[in-house]
A and B are shown apart, each in its own frame.
Chain A
Amino acid sequence: MKTITNTILYIAVTGITCFAADQNTAEKIKQHGDKSQLLSLEQDELSADVQDLIDEQTDPEVIKMLREIELIMADATDLLDQKNTGGATIATETEVIEKIFETAKKKQENQKKEGG
């Protein structure tokens, strides 16, 4: 009788523990999805900032590059919205950073040309 009681208790405790662990994991998975979509929104806001920057520019080459950045940012936004945080998304974000650097450099070069 004691053995049966102990077995039932063990199964119950194990079950509760597993259930709690599963619930915790499910919460974290949800957290991952929510945060990814939050990042997607931030990426979208940054894309809007790029649009504002385009409006302020007069140099066609810089404008062209900024438009390209906007497109790549849109890709990153979509990926994050799909809760994709893997290598593809990080590569896209890296491309955005590199492209912004290039744009800044291009702007400086063109300024020098104009100044020269």
Chain B
Amino acid sequence: MPAKPQSTTRQTHVAPIPDGLQLQLQAFRRNLWKIKITEALLAGCLGLIASFLMVFLLDRFFETPASLRLSILIIGTSLLSVFAPYWIHRWVYRHRREHQLARLISIRFPKLGDRLLGAVELQDQKENTENLSPQLRAAAMRDVAEEASKLDLVTALPHSSQRKWLLAVVILSSITAVLSICSPDASINSFKRWIIPYASTERFTFTRLDLSAIGTPERIPYGEAFSLTIPLANDTDYKPTEARARYGDGDWVQAARVKDAYTFQFPGQRAIDTVIVEAHDARHELAFEPVMRPETASIEARVKLPEYLQRSEDASDLRSGYISLLEGSSMTIETTTTRKILSANADLVLLPQQEPATPPTKDSTVNETTKQTINKTVKLEIDGKTLTSEPITVAKQAMILTVGWRDIYKLSATTPLQIRIEPAQDQTPSSYLHDIERQHIMLEEETIEFKIIAEDDFGLKACGISWEGSFSKPTPGNPASGELTVTAGNPTKTNITNPFSFSPANLSIKPQKISLRSWSEDYKPGRGRVYSEPTTLYILSRIEHAQVLKNKFDNAIGQLEEIARQEQNLNDENLRTERNMGNDLQSESARKKLEQQQDSEANNQERMEELSKRVEEIFKDAVRNGEVEKESLKKMSEALQSMKELSQQDLPQVENKLENAQDRRNTNNKSKKDLNEAIALQNEAIKKMQKALEDAKEANKMFEAGTFVNRLKKAARTQDGIANNIISIIDAIVGNFSNELDPVEQRALSKSYDQQRENAVDIHWIQEDLLNYYSRTQKPEHKKLHDTIRESMVDTELNMLAQRITANLSYSSINQSKFWAQEIRKWIKQLEGDKNNSGGSAGNGGGGSQEEQDFEFMLKVMRMIQQEQNIRGRTRALEDLRRSLQNDTQKTQP
């Protein structure tokens, strides 16, 4: 059983060992402890230094993982914290007593050791008479002490490696000291990384790369070759001439140092991976992610047209890359991309003014860019995925706006966005009159309907019509002039089509030549109205209209005579054919001849058809006129009826028979029979033509006579009217000077004066027409009447009468006016006598017959319809006028 532990210093024993021996043991113990404690301390130091050096060394080659650094630290410190206490416990604590030392000595000196152990044990032996003698015990102790004193107990100390350990510590410490002096940054860095392994202390490398521009992960364009530039950090200690990198498991890519940076060229990548970059002792693993490049999701321009157009902001799609805008417009471009935008820039290039306005192509864009003259930078506002430009004002030149951007991954679009902005001018509006002939003849009370069409590129302010009259013969008063706003537009109305009814009577336009135009106006300041090509309206009085119809009818009669002559010639030729070739009508030459005759017959029939249509139009106009007398119209209608029958029945029958005569299946007799029938039918047709011609001529005679009569009747009525007007105000005007009269009477006299002047002009023209008519027809009655009128000096007299009226010579004016009314009526009688002589057959032809009554009824009905149509047309024109007044009111309102 081991002895109970005692104090390492002084112990109380029953019989202590001799002092010499005790001193020897104490010296032995002191040496033992010194050696072992030194060993424990050296081991601890060695562990710490070695582990630090291990981390330092490993960091030089690679990024030592924190776990490995922790392990090294634990192992290093464990020598000091575990091994050293253990060692001290073993050699110090457990070798503090004499018997423990005696046992250790017995390893080197077994015999002495055993005896020394016995001596130590005897110290505490209780004396007993039976088995112990104190003398003997003392003698034994003396022997042991004597024997021990002969030996050096130091040699019994256990083997010690403290020198080797010390050497190792010195060497490692020296290395550490050298490293710390040579590379203090690396040493401090390694110390930090060694002492606090999990701290975020970056590994020190002699070559340091600047990775601040590399993202985590770094995005690269998907599937596209890319370059990676990594510069050296400013504080790098070493600048290797070359570096290498690789994408994932790919091949290493070498890069030489150029301007303190390494640029690696990588092929296209599609997978997320790590790029390892190595430059000398620097080694980095960088995460890379291929992503698709950002695209334009939408692009539109918010266009603000110039203020004068009064238009609200409008949006236009710009995906075509081309926009044409009005000069002076302001445009803001808004682009939305597929990814958030990090940075963007926009440049505006103003092209030379002579650039043609053509949509851009890829090639042309490049060429044009080289011709650029002015560059401007456009400010852009970034909001997430949206990019908004500052307002761009459209100049006179074409412009190319180039917008580039980088997304949050620093990727740009495949190609920068290019938009061509082409300046446009505000075109002048156009206007024209539709559904109306360039020249039109109409009666004063008639209405003409047409459409007013106006167009503008940006908006019509208004459109309407204007008219400017001119007299074709001397007429008192001023020619008509006026305008109407037919439709009020608005800033967005670019087309106006408005039907309009123009009624001279409603607008108080007297018979004259009117130049009618439509006009349109846009919003451009200072441009004013734009007028259409004029349409000429010949507004005629009934008498003038009748004269026009008369001329047309003369022409129609001439054509009818020509057709009749042609038909007679054809008839003669058919007779010759029958006579010369009658026995051989089946011969080729005969058939050819018949064919020619048939074609000519067809041609004549066509002419007759056209003529009957023209005469029908003249007849309708004559009915419309109202001044043409019934008998004349009746004859005209009879002629028209004959002409219609000829064109639709008689002449086609002749043609048909001539065709039959050519039939190859015919016998000669059959052909001859057909030809004879054709000749017979033709004879009938010629007779009918002659009858139609006679009717037409008779109608014409009545027409022309009626025209002069009617004109003279109107003149007489006017003179009566003037006299009656003055009579109606005679009490108020008699005895006064014209300048003393009340304005009402002054106005009435002025009106009478105008009428008198107008009537004088009319009578003058009647004289002129009579003379011209005589020159053409050589009818003496017209010459006679002309001479009578001329001799009466009516022109001069009526002009003098006008002067009397204006001078308020009232009685004289009344008398003179009535006198000339009677004179004119005498002339009418003179002419009517002639008319009755020439047209007597018509007038005496049984005016009361049923047929005439029916004709008269139909004539009245037709005139009634015509009059009602006129009233309706003028009502419509009045409605148009009323609406145009509303437009005027709207325009004048602010």
Residues of A within 8 A of B (CB): 18, 21-22, 24-25, 28-29, 31-32, 35-36, 39, 42-43, 46, 49-50, 53, 56-57, 76, 80, 85-86, 89-90, 93-94, 96-97, 100-101, 103-104, 107, 111
Contact B861 A85 (CB under 8 A): no
A-side contacts of B857, CB under 8 Å: 53, 56-57, 107
User: Which of A28, A31, A50, A90 makes the CB contact (< 8 A) with B872?
Assistant: A90
Once bound together, how far apart are the Cα atoms of A64 and B449, in whole Å? Answer: 34
Minimum Cβ distance to chain A for residue B483 (Å)? 10
B175 close to chain A: CB less than 8 A: no
A-side contacts of B889, CB under 8 Å: 25
Contact B871 A25 (CB under 8 A): no
Contact A25 B888 (CB under 8 A): yes
Once bound together, how far apart are the Cα atoms of A1 and B447, in whole Å? Answer: 56
User: Which of A22, A28, A90, A101 makes the CB contact (< 8 A) with B879?
Assistant: A90
- A42 nearest CB neighbor, chain B only: B871
B854 close to chain A: CB less than 8 A: yes
- A40 nearest CB neighbor, chain B only: B871
Once bound together, how far apart are the Cα atoms of A100 and B881, in whole Å? Answer: 28
Once bound together, how far apart are the Cα atoms of A43 and B865, in whole Å? Answer: 12
Contact A32 B861 (CB under 8 A): no
- 18 A-B contacts (beta carbon < 8 Å): A24-B888, A31-B881, A35-B505, A35-B878, A53-B864, A57-B857, A76-B871, A85-B879, A85-B882, A90-B876, A90-B879, A94-B872, A97-B868, A101-B865, A103-B861, A107-B854, A107-B857, A107-B858
B131 close to chain A: CB less than 8 A: no
Minimum Cβ distance to chain B for residue A73 (Å)? 8
Contact B879 A46 (CB under 8 A): no
**Given A32-B882, A100-B864, A104-B858, A89 and B875 contact (CB-CB distance below 8 Å):** yes
- B876 nearest CB neighbor, chain A only: A90
Contact A39 B878 (CB under 8 A): yes
0 or 1 for each of B864-894: is its CB under 8 Å from A? (1 = yes): 1101110110111011011001001100100
Contact A97 B878 (CB under 8 A): no
Once bound together, how far apart are the Cα atoms of A50 and B864, in whole Å? Answer: 8
User: Which of A29, A42, A49, A80 makes the CB contact (< 8 A) with B864?
Assistant: A49
Contact A46 B871 (CB under 8 A): yes
- B482 nearest CB neighbor, chain A only: A28
Once bound together, how far apart are the Cα atoms of A96 and B892, in whole Å? Answer: 39
Once bound together, how far apart are the Cα atoms of A22 and B552, in whole Å? Answer: 46
Once bound together, how far apart are the Cα atoms of A43 and B872, in whole Å? Answer: 10
Q: A22-B892, A85-B878 are in contact. List 11 more A-B contacts (CB 8 A).
A: A25-B888, A32-B885, A36-B875, A46-B867, A49-B864, A49-B867, A53-B860, A57-B857, A85-B882, A100-B868, A107-B858
Contact B892 A25 (CB under 8 A): yes
B-side contacts of A50, CB under 8 Å: 864
Contact B867 A18 (CB under 8 A): no
Contact B892 A93 (CB under 8 A): no
B373 close to chain A: CB less than 8 A: no
- B870 nearest CB neighbor, chain A only: A42
**Given A18-B892, A22-B892, A39-B874, A96 and B860 contact (CB-CB distance below 8 Å):** no
Minimum Cβ distance to chain B for residue A94 (Å)? 7
User: Which of A35, A56, A96 makes the CB contact (< 8 A) with B868?
Assistant: A96
**Given A18-B892, A22-B892, A97-B865, A28 and B881 contact (CB-CB distance below 8 Å):** yes
B508 close to chain A: CB less than 8 A: yes
A-side contacts of B854, CB under 8 Å: 107, 111
Count of chain B residues near A, Cβ 8 A: 27
Minimum Cβ distance to chain B for residue A27 (Å)? 10
User: Which of A49, A56, A93, A111 makes the CB contact (< 8 A) with B871?
Assistant: A93
Contact B885 A29 (CB under 8 A): yes
Once bound together, how far apart are the Cα atoms of A29 and B506, in whole Å? Answer: 12
- A76 nearest CB neighbor, chain B only: B871
Once bound together, how far apart are the Cα atoms of A29 and B505, in whole Å? Answer: 15
Once bound together, how far apart are the Cα atoms of A93 and B868, in whole Å? Answer: 7
User: Which of B858, B882, B888 makes the CB contact (< 8 A) with A21?
Assistant: B888
B-side contacts of A80, CB under 8 Å: 875
- A35 nearest CB neighbor, chain B only: B506
A-side contacts of B878, CB under 8 Å: 32, 35-36, 39, 85
Once bound together, how far apart are the Cα atoms of A79 and B506, in whole Å? Answer: 17
Contact B868 A46 (CB under 8 A): yes
Minimum Cβ distance to chain B for residue A99 (Å)? 10
Once bound together, how far apart are the Cα atoms of A72 and B67, in whole Å? Answer: 114
Once bound together, how far apart are the Cα atoms of A86 and B857, in whole Å? Answer: 32
Once bound together, how far apart are the Cα atoms of A35 and B876, in whole Å? Answer: 12
B-side contacts of A24, CB under 8 Å: 888
Minimum Cβ distance to chain B for residue A31 (Å)? 7
Contact B865 A100 (CB under 8 A): yes
Once bound together, how far apart are the Cα atoms of A32 and B874, in whole Å? Answer: 11
- A104 nearest CB neighbor, chain B only: B861
A-side contacts of B867, CB under 8 Å: 42, 46, 49
- Chain B, 847-868, CB within 8 A of any chain A CB: 854, 857-858, 860-862, 864-865, 867-868
Interface centre among A25, A35, A89, A111 (most CB of B within 10 A): A35
- B856 nearest CB neighbor, chain A only: A56
Contact B871 A39 (CB under 8 A): yes
User: Which of A31, A39, A94, A100 makes the CB contact (< 8 A) with B508?
Assistant: A31
Minimum Cβ distance to chain B for residue A30 (Å)? 10
B-side contacts of A18, CB under 8 Å: 892
A-side contacts of B861, CB under 8 Å: 53, 100, 103-104, 107
**Given A21-B888, A29-B885, A111-B854, A85 and B868 contact (CB-CB distance below 8 Å):** no
- B862 nearest CB neighbor, chain A only: A104
Contact A97 B888 (CB under 8 A): no
Contact A28 B864 (CB under 8 A): no
Once bound together, how far apart are the Cα atoms of A39 and B875, in whole Å? Answer: 8
Contact A97 B879 (CB under 8 A): no
- B857 nearest CB neighbor, chain A only: A107
Once bound together, how far apart are the Cα atoms of A85 and B879, in whole Å? Answer: 5
Contact A35 B874 (CB under 8 A): yes
B-side contacts of A22, CB under 8 Å: 892
Minimum Cβ distance to chain B for residue A40 (Å)? 9
Minimum Cβ distance to chain A for residue B350 (Å)? 39
Minimum Cβ distance to chain A for residue B848 (Å)? 12
0 or 1 for each of B222-241: is its CB under 8 Å from A? (1 = yes): 00000000000000000000
Contact A97 B874 (CB under 8 A): no
- A24 nearest CB neighbor, chain B only: B888
Once bound together, how far apart are the Cα atoms of A93 and B873, in whole Å? Answer: 10
Once bound together, how far apart are the Cα atoms of A46 and B626, in whole Å? Answer: 13
**Given A100-B865, A100-B868, A103-B861, A25 and B875 contact (CB-CB distance below 8 Å):** no
Minimum Cβ distance to chain A for residue B894 (Å)? 9
Once bound together, how far apart are the Cα atoms of A42 and B892, in whole Å? Answer: 34
Contact B864 A46 (CB under 8 A): yes
Once bound together, how far apart are the Cα atoms of A56 and B888, in whole Å? Answer: 49
A-side contacts of B892, CB under 8 Å: 18, 21-22, 25
The 8 closest A-B pairs by CB, nearest first: A93-B872, A85-B878, A85-B879, A104-B861, A21-B892, A35-B506, A97-B868, A85-B875
Minimum Cβ distance to chain A for residue B862 (Å)? 8
Once bound together, how far apart are the Cα atoms of A107 and B871, in whole Å? Answer: 24
Once bound together, how far apart are the Cα atoms of A35 and B874, in whole Å? Answer: 9
- B863 nearest CB neighbor, chain A only: A49
Contact B864 A93 (CB under 8 A): no
B-side contacts of A36, CB under 8 Å: 875, 878
Once bound together, how far apart are the Cα atoms of A53 and B858, in whole Å? Answer: 11
Once bound together, how far apart are the Cα atoms of A32 and B879, in whole Å? Answer: 8
Minimum Cβ distance to chain B for residue A60 (Å)? 15
Once bound together, how far apart are the Cα atoms of A3 and B858, in whole Å? Answer: 75
0 or 1 for each of B501-530: is its CB under 8 Å from A? (1 = yes): 000011010000000000000000000000
Minimum Cβ distance to chain B for residue A56 (Å)? 7
**Given A32-B885, A35-B506, A56-B857, A93 and B875 contact (CB-CB distance below 8 Å):** yes
Once bound together, how far apart are the Cα atoms of A4 and B875, in whole Å? Answer: 50
A-side contacts of B505, CB under 8 Å: 35
Once bound together, how far apart are the Cα atoms of A96 and B874, in whole Å? Answer: 15
